[in-house]
Amino acid sequence: MKDLNELLNDVIENEKMIYGVLSNQRKKDNNNFIKVNLKPVLIKGEKKIQFTYEYNSKVMHKNLGKSDSIEELDELLKNYFKQGMFFAIDADYQVLISKKGKVNILKKKPTKEQISLSHNRKKEYIINEGTPCDFLIRLGIMNESGKVYNKKYDKFKQINRFLEIVSDIVPHIKGKETFNIIDFGCGKSYLTFALYYYFVKILKLNVNIIGLDLKSDVIEFCNNVAKDLNYNKLRFIHGDIKDFDDIEKVNMIVTLHACDTATDAALAKAVNWNTDIILSVPCCQHELFKKINSSTMKPMLKHGIIKEKLSSLITDSLRANLLEILGYSTQLLEFIDVEHTPKNILIRSIKSGKIDKSCIDEYKSFKEAWGIKDIYLEKALEDKLKDMDI
């Protein structure tokens, strides 16, 4: 058959390759890679070839587009390996290259069946690509035929990850006559619309959602979108979290990346209203940066970059601890891979009503260890905490 270039063009350009492996080093060299595995992957909606370079004690990956892959394979086969196996849809190809560079290509019956894009194996999302979804089209995440724009793929994944976390709490909502949700600091409200779509359009639940934000232009935009989409039980209000009292019963509070202590204002509202469910992804955190102190931890506290991360983690630990003290069963989950945002901790709290006294001692000694006297959230919850010796 064909020459090497023709073969590489055929299997790579025409997306025929299921799996490949380059082996049999041309010059034995234990410091260099001894084998390279190849597989097609889908990264942010783009098809690539993943090269896995196997060394003696490590493995390295590279994801390349089609023409770069062909170039890399040509280079690897001509300079590093005597053999390449390409398992394609129509055939298995064995490439043998002699010392003098003579290429021999053997074609055999195919032994592998399907292309598996397993690096980003097509996950079953709650909202799937390919199915047009009204709010995602309106907000510019996908086109009319349901294709997610490449630049919006991270947002698309974030929305689905959020809905996946929300799906776990559905049993707490089902059966309720009505369910009132507030999204504090909703911003442009991708996730608020997603929540509405999931609860009302997919699950057909009787849910009312309010999005609240400080920015009046954003609120106007979101109200227009909700109107265009006929999302009748979704409305947006302009205001500050700490002043918002315009509702009788709130079943669930959402706060996603609300800046600094705006997250705490939202958590305090939720607890003071006896809200059943809290979903909160905190944002930047400045309060404890100035307040933490510990001679033992000095090596961590003297570097601003570490101190900043540390103060965020301490803040979220204290938040979770306070919620537990106040009868919320609380989990901290990874919201989305760190590659997308460093602000990726989601606090999920469900009211259980069981007050765990052991958490009070934990809370007090933890604060003491970090030299912390008071925090915003504690102050905002002082009525609830007054009999708890905190």
Ligand X SMILES: C[S@@+](CC[C@H](N)C(=O)[O-])C[C@H]1O[C@@H](n2cnc3c(N)ncnc32)[C@H](O)[C@@H]1O
Residues at the interface with ligand X (CB under 6 A): 185-187, 190-191, 212-215, 240-241, 256-259, 262, 265, 283
Contact 247, 210 (CB under 8 A): yes
d(CA 181, CA 201): 16
CB of 201 to ligand X, least distance (A): 20
- Cβ distance to ligand X smaller for residue 210 or 360: 210
CB of 162 to ligand X, least distance (A): 9
CB of 212 to ligand X, least distance (A): 6
Contact 324, 347 (CB under 8 A): no
- Cβ distance to ligand X smaller for residue 241 or 375: 241
CB of 281 to ligand X, least distance (A): 7
d(CA 80, CA 32): 9
Q: What are the tokens at 31?
A: 């410091």
- Cβ distance to ligand X smaller for residue 97 or 222: 222
Within 8 A by CB and 6+ apart from 105, the residues are 1, 2, 3, 4, 7, 93, 94, 95, 96
- Cβ distance to ligand X smaller for residue 80 or 198: 198
d(CA 52, CA 78): 18
For residue 74, give the amino acid letter: D
- Cβ distance to ligand X smaller for residue 93 or 196: 196
Residue nearest to ligand X (CB): 187
Helix (H) or strand (E) holding 280: strand 277-281
CB of 302 to ligand X, least distance (A): 30
Place of tokens 């933490």: 292
